[in-house]
Amino acid sequence: MSSQTLAIIKPDSFRNKNTGKIVDRILSAGFEITAMEQQHLSKKRAEAFYDIHSERPFFHDLIVFMTSGPCVPMALRKNDAVSSFRELIGATDPQSARAGTIRKDFAENVQNNAVHGSDSDDNAAKEIAFFFPSLQIRSN
């Protein structure tokens, strides 16, 4: 069934001029982009987005990274969008990511790992609302 996920082209990809190449991978994999916008996150917004990781040792550096330059959040649609996108991007640490995945090919390291992808349908809905509060969610 068609469903949604939230992707972010992270600041490392933006800085390395990989935005277009990553968008091409996403479209070639059959995703429909229903919303997309270049944004430069404030510390407050980045902390709110990654609130679930606030107790992790890497949290502070993650916020510095995510606010270091523009990023490109996008809402995506496809069958089984969440798992299909996680498959396309590969493991969190690019050293463990499968060949041909976005993180394998574009990530700098486990923190600067090129892209974000939601990890569940519930979080996808929350994350899409976080970046695109006015996006209408179609049911078909």
Closer of 105 and 119 to ligand ADP (Cβ): 119
Which residue among 22, 62, 63, 128 contacts ligand ADP (CB under 6 A)? 62
CB of 139 to Mg ion, least distance (A): 26
Amino acid at 105: D
Residue of 16, 26, 15 whose CA lies nearest to 67? 15
Q: Which two tokens mark 114?
A: 């090129």
Closer of 118 and 140 to ligand ADP (Cβ): 118
Contacts of 36 (CB under 8 A, 6+ apart): 72, 73, 74, 75
Judged by CB under 6 A, the number of residues near ligand ADP is 9
119 binds ligand ADP (CB under 6 A): yes
Q: Which part of the chain contacts Mg ion (CB under 5 A), choosing from 21-29, 77-85, 116-124, 128-136?
A: 116-124
Residue 140, CA atoms < 13 Å, CB-side half-sphere: 0
Annotated catalytic sites, by residue?
116
Residue 32 in contact with residue 78, Cβ under 8 Å? yes
97 binds ligand ADP (CB under 6 A): no
121 binds ligand ADP (CB under 6 A): no
Residue of 93, 105, 123 whose CA lies nearest to 25? 105
Question: Where along the sequence are the contacts to ligand ADP (CB under 6 A)?
Answer: 53, 58, 62, 92, 110-111, 113, 116, 119
